[in-house]
Structure 1
């Protein structure tokens, strides 16, 4: 199989790449990181496309009047976007499984110290209430310990992780609010469309920020000396 770092052909029974000397576990970790990065990128483009389409839908509503407003037509135009957000949720679930697998390996390979045990890499997403604050703390610990950041760099990393997690929470909240939105009146339709645009924007932002973290941690860990 080709080496994920340099592209040279590595025999199946060899633990190190003969060209660059990379260990097999680092090649595998890089492959998982690339897969997560690409899934996040696809999610970001899908959410961005949904947001742009919703902005186009909102343009006729700006000049519409209550007398000429058709609720049935407005609801019909919003149905595909509800389905699109369902697709985004399914894609987010698939990406989440890959992301947790990547985070488990990144946690294991990071030098520490960590504020949570490794089991929280999985349970931190599943335990109610704890899943509101454990995942960003895990991501922060993995990022700053892998890079051995100084205090100023830790502040930047904290802002990055905080912005990512806030975007995730807002995207989930606004997506559910959009799914429950109505179009019985012109004001309701405008508000629902604005919710959809905001939800799509935060989804795209969350995916983009997660891509930057995954790229940075993966790059640092595969480049770290043995």
Structure 2
């Protein structure tokens, strides 16, 4: 198998790469990290594209009047975006499963100390109320425990994690609002489009910030002695 760091071939009977000294057991961890990173990038690209497309729809609605507005035509035009958000949710679910596998491994490789048991890496996402605050806390602990950080660097990492989680929650909220929106009047249609744009923007930003956490944690753990 090739080394995750230098590309040299590691014999199956040794634990370290003979060329750079990297642990062989971290090869698959890096591969999972790269896969999660790429899936998040694809999710961000899809969300950004749907947001830009929705922005283009806001122009005709801005120029429309109550006399020229056609609720039926607007509803048909916006209907595919509901399907896009549904597909995005399915993609996020697939990405989330691989992300949990990566986070479980990252938690086990981080030296600690940990305030929560490893089981909460999985349970924290599915327990009501707890899943509103525990997942970002676990990611933050894994991140800062994987390297040597000063206070300012810990605060910066905390801001990235908090930004990711806040954007993810807001993106989910606005996506649900868009799905239950109304286009009966011109004002309702304009508001619904703006909500859809906000949902896409928050989802794209959440994916980008999550990519930053995956990249940093994976990088720290594969280079750690």
Fold conserved (TM > 0.5)?
yes
CA distance in 2, matches of 1:185, 1:126: 38
Deviation, 1:169, is 0.5
Structure 2 counterparts to residues 1-226 of structure 1, below 5 A? 1-225=1-225
| Uncovered stretches (5+) of structure 1, i.e. residues with no partner | none
Q: Give TM-score, length-normalised by structure 2.
A: 0.97
- Kindly state the Cα deviation for residue 46 of structure 1 after the two structures are TM-superposed: 0.5
RMSD: 1.1
| Structure 1 position 14, deviation (Å) | 4.2
Q: After superposition, give the CA deviation of every residue in 1:27-65 in whole Å (9 maximum; x if it has no partner).
A: 111001000000000000000000000000111000100
Residue 7 of structure 1 deviates from its aligned partner by 1.7
In the alignment, the residues of structure 1 paired with residue 88 and residue 148 of structure 2 have an alpha-carbon distance, to the nearest angstrom, of 35
CA distance in 1, matches of 2:6, 2:79: 47
Q: What is the rounded CA distance, in whole Å, between the counterparts of 2:23 and 2:111 in structure 1?
A: 17
Q: TM-score of the superposition, structure 1-length normalised?
A: 0.96
For structure 2, the residue ranges without an aligned partner over 5 or more in a row are none
Deviation at 1:182, TM superposition (A): 1.3
Residues 66-109 of structure 1, C-alpha deviations (whole Å, 9 max, x = no match): 11111111011111111100110000000000111111111111
Residues 156-180 of structure 1: CA deviation (Å, up to 9, x unaligned): 1111111111001001111111011
Q: What's the CA shift for 1:155?
A: 1.2
CA–CA separation in structure 2 for the residues paired with 1:161 and 1:184: 39
3-state SS of the aligned residue for 2:125? helix
The count of aligned residue pairs is 225
1:6 and 1:76 map into 2 onto residues whose CA distance is 53
SS at match of 2:49: helix
